[in-house]
Amino acid sequence: MADVVGPVRDAAGVTVRVRTSDPTLAAHLDSLLAAFPVVEGEADIDYRVASGDGRAWTLFVDGERVAARKRNRVAELLQWHCNRSVILAAVRRTTTLHAGVVARDGRAVLLPAPMDSGKSTLTAGLLRRGLDYLTDEAAIIVDGVVHAYPKVVGIDPGSHHLFPELEPDDDRRRFTYAQWHVPPAVVGAGRVAATAEPAVVVVPHYTGSGTTALSHVGPAEAVRLLAENTFGFHDRPVAHLRVHAALVEACSVHRMEVSDLETACDLVLGLLER
């Protein structure tokens, strides 16, 4: 069977195209990339997902085999490779934070945090409140402006109960392993914004119990928190610190202990209204 060839899409400066022989899988993979605009020209990265014996699916990148996975994990593998490629390209030319970003009226809320801090969950919660989406993974800062990397929103198993409406249907479940990959529009995002001006930084830390509360962070400590959540910080530390300092001067910066998602969303929206 001939490959189904998807369009070339611009994933935050890296153009990608996906081809696979399975039309259902092709449609699913394209839905994962749908928030990236379609562009003309050749792709920087040519993904091909091929079925061998029908059980294992192999991901090829520019003709080279990367790895094989079962059907329900091959989308996750492609997503991981795409994330890695976009972030590696971005850190060479920008300050790129490990952060979720949502926005309202062009004013961005940055949510920098390490893995398992509740960053993506809080991002999804704010999208459900109608905010615009930029990313749940990588905030690319260029000339003081946040640029989007609008990958699908990742909902980890520990947060599935908070988003029952996003549970994959049978078609999507065939391609789902642990994390749900949900297009931002399905989560409820107002729109996918290409850029936004930094206005608020909230560093979430999921506690699971206790009070959900904000605490203001002083400027030097805020710079340190941003440095801790910057991809490739030690490659160009002083340049990154200067970007962080400018961000801190443009934003109010807070830590947030999170035990209740809806309260956390209320608090972030309150900061945006100030």
Of the candidate spans 22-30, 158-166, 171-179, 222-230, the one that interacts with other proteins by CB under 8 A turns out to be 222-230
User: Does residue number 222 form part of the binding site for other proteins (CB under 8 A)?
Assistant: yes
User: Does residue number 217 form part of the binding site for other proteins (CB under 8 A)?
Assistant: no
C-alpha count within 13 angstroms, C-beta hemisphere, residue 245: 7
For other proteins, the closer of residues 210 and 237 by Cβ is 237
Residue 221 CA to residue 236 CA, distance in Å, equals: 19
User: Does residue number 68 form part of the binding site for other proteins (CB under 8 A)?
Assistant: no
User: Does residue number 238 form part of the binding site for other proteins (CB under 8 A)?
Assistant: yes
Candidates 49, 102, 182, 223: give the one binding other proteins (CB under 8 A): 223
Site residues (CB under 8 A) for other proteins, limited to 158-177: none
Candidates 224, 232, 267, 269: give the one binding other proteins (CB under 8 A): 224
Q: What residues pair up with 215 in beta bridges, in sequence order? A: 255
Could you tell me the smallest distance in angstroms from the CB atom of residue 116 to other proteins? 23
Could you tell me the two tokens for 111? Answer: 């949510």
Q: What's the helix, strand, coil split of the chain in %, to 5?
A: 35, 35, 30
Candidates 244, 254, 258, 272: give the one binding other proteins (CB under 8 A): 244
For other proteins, the closer of residues 244 and 255 by Cβ is 244
For other proteins, the closer of residues 205 and 224 by Cβ is 224
Q: Is 46 left (phi over 0), alpha (psi -120 to 50) or beta?
A: beta
User: Does residue number 237 form part of the binding site for other proteins (CB under 8 A)?
Assistant: yes
Candidates 249, 262, 266, 270: give the one binding other proteins (CB under 8 A): 249
Check residue 117 and report its DSSP letter: S
User: Does residue number 200 form part of the binding site for other proteins (CB under 8 A)?
Assistant: no
123 by DSSP, 3-state: which? helix
- Tokens 């094989």 locate to 68
Candidates 211, 242, 266, 270: give the one binding other proteins (CB under 8 A): 242
Candidates 245, 267, 269, 271: give the one binding other proteins (CB under 8 A): 245
Q: Of 69, 264, 36, which Cα lies nearest the Cα of 159? A: 264
User: Does residue number 219 form part of the binding site for other proteins (CB under 8 A)?
Assistant: yes
The DSSP-derived string for 47-102 is EEEEESSSSEEEEEETTEEEEEEEHHHHHHHHHHHHHHHHHHHHHHHSEEEEEEEE
CA-angle at 84, arms to 81 and 89, nearest 5°: 125
For other proteins, the closer of residues 110 and 248 by Cβ is 248
Q: Of 115, 133, 124, 131, which Cα lies nearest the Cα of 165? A: 124
User: Does residue number 65 form part of the binding site for other proteins (CB under 8 A)?
Assistant: no
For other proteins, the closer of residues 143 and 170 by Cβ is 143
- Write the CA distances from 53 to 50, 70, 96, 123, integer angstroms: 10, 11, 40, 39
For other proteins, the closer of residues 105 and 221 by Cβ is 221
Q: Of 190, 207, 214, which Cα lies nearest the Cα of 106? A: 190
Site residues (CB under 8 A) for other proteins? 218-224, 227, 234, 237-238, 241-242, 244-245, 248-249
